[in-house]
Amino acid sequence: MPRMTMIEAIRDAMDVSMGRDENVVVFGEDVGYFGGVFRCTAGLQQKYGTSRCFDAPISELGIVGTAIGMAAYGLKPCVEIQFADYVYPAYDQIVSEAARIRYRSAGQFTCPIVIRMPTGGGIFGGQTHSQSPEALFTHVSGLKVVVPSNPQDAKGLLISAIEDPDPVIFLEPKRLYNGPFDGHHDRPVTPWSKHELGDVAADHVTVPLGKAVTRREGSAVTILAYGTMVHVALAATEDTGIDAEVIDLRTLLPLDLDAIVASVKKTGRCVVVHEATMTSGFGAELVSLVQEHCFYHLEAPVARVAGWDTPYPHAQEWDYFPGPARLSEALRGVMEA
């Protein structure tokens, strides 16, 4: 199997999808000729032509709004928002339109679109290049929300998202684009070429939406994580020596509740971790579901490790980012309870 970075895997997913289905179109700001500011669409315009992959005006609502119209026609647009931090001008189109068109038209019109957006921090991106807005989408009925944590999943999940009949918000942790990152920012970063999850199947491959995966089996505590935090969770497990089970949720909506419940019932303890701010973050939903479904198996309160309830700062990057130290502390706390 070829080794790929997450960028290459994402580009490959679009390449494969465009090759298989001529209704797949790709557009966004700087996505066409230039190939994207993160290179995720490099070469696609050259290969498929300007009618299939093209540059868009700087208008997020325009990008998503036209994609919705294209989907109503019968195309399968896979569009890019340059940073998740800039999706808000398109929020009305996503929430009021994309998510509801199937429902409100009783299935006459559907919206099989994918909205890709680089998300997350850990890159000194400051306030508007670091946000994790997933909770703003998991609260919306009719959307699917996906966050891959490695090249293998990124390709399989993106192809699944493009083939999915419903609108999918596809959040790409940009901190993981070139290599796994476990939050130990003082250590050298390894590239995906040195990681087994950089092995990406050639051609068509899918990873089902709505299915979590266990990244590390353990018996002491369950860590629920996604995106960059999967690698932080593995690091914290190693740092503490606590035999944690690490679940990579992959899809936040719809959520793989069965996998979560099975793990927490086994371990009796649970820590939820995400980069996004704490209050009303997706972690609150996870904690609520765990207490509802695993109450009699819990031996400690469910803990949450998250970004602080502040805008994402610049200079204080590593005070803000929920790294292995903070997660380790939470793990120890849960084990002592």
Partner 1 sequence: MVETPKGGLFVPEPEVRPGGQPDFSKVKIPRAGSVERPPVDVDPRDIREMAFSIIRVLNRDGEAVGPWAGTLSDEELLEGLKHMMTLRAFDARMQMAQRQGKTSFYMQHMGEEAVSCAFRRAMEPGDMNFPTYRQAGLLIAGDYPMVDMMNQIYSNEADPLKGRQLPIMYSAKDHGFFSISGNLGTQFIQAVGWAMASAIKNDSRIAAGWIGDGSTAESDFHAALVFASTYRAPVVLNIVNNQWAISTFQGIARGGAGTFAARGLGFGLPALRVDGNDYLAVHAVAKWAVERARMGLGATLVEYVTYRVGAHSTSDDPSAYRPKTESDSWPLGDPVIRLKNHLIRRGVWTDDRHKQAEAEVLDGVISAQKEAEKHGTLHAGGRPSARDMFEGVYAEMPPHLRRQRQQAGV
> Which residue ranges make up the site for partner 1 (CB under 8 A)?
25, 51-52, 56-57, 59, 61-62, 65-70, 72-75, 89, 92-93, 96-97, 100-110, 141-142, 144, 164-166, 210, 254-255, 257-258
Quote the least distance from Cβ 94 to partner 1, whole Å: 11
Complete DSSP assignment for 117-183: EEE--SSS-GGGSS---HHHHHTSTT-EEE---SHHHHHHHHHHHHHSSS-EEEEEEGGGSSS---S
CA dist 330 and 324 (Å) reads 10
Least distance from partner 1 to the Cβ atom of residue 96, Å: 4
Q: How many CB atoms lie within 10 A of CB 203?
A: 9
Closer to partner 1 by Cβ: residue 25 or 232:
25
Q: Measured from the CB of residue 247, what is the shortest distance to partner 1 in angstroms?
A: 16
Contact status, residue 120 vs residue 130, Cβ threshold 8 Å:
yes
List strands edge to edge, sheet with 144-146: 53-55, 24-28, 76-80, 114-119, 168-173, 144-146, 251-253
Q: Rounded to an integer, what distance in angstroms lies between the CA atom of residue 232 and that of residue 242? A: 14
Instruction: Say whether 129 is catalytic.
Output: yes
| Main-chain phi, psi angles of 203, to 5 degrees | 65, -145
Nearer to partner 1, 70 or 330 (CB): 70
- CB 271 to partner 1: min, Å: 22
Q: What angle do helix axes 324-336 and 228-240 make, rounded to 10 degrees?
A: 60
Cis peptide bond N-terminal to 208, omega within 30: no
Per-residue DSSP letter, 193: G
Residue 117 or 260 with smaller CB distance to partner 1: 260
Q: Which of 110, 154, 139 is nearest to 16 (CA)?
A: 154
Residue (139 or 184) nearer to partner 1, CB: 139
Taking the complex as a whole, the smallest distance from the CB of residue 223 to partner 1 amounts, in Å, to: 22
C-alpha distances in Å from residue 91, one per residue of 69, 101, 123: 16, 15, 25
CB closer to partner 1, 134 vs 275 = 134
Residue of 129, 139, 204, 274 marked active site: 129
Q: CA–CA distance from 189 to each of 11, 128, 196, 231, 237 (Å)?
A: 22, 24, 15, 12, 18
State which residue, 67 or 220, has the beta carbon closest to partner 1.
67
Q: Which residues are designated catalytic?
A: 129
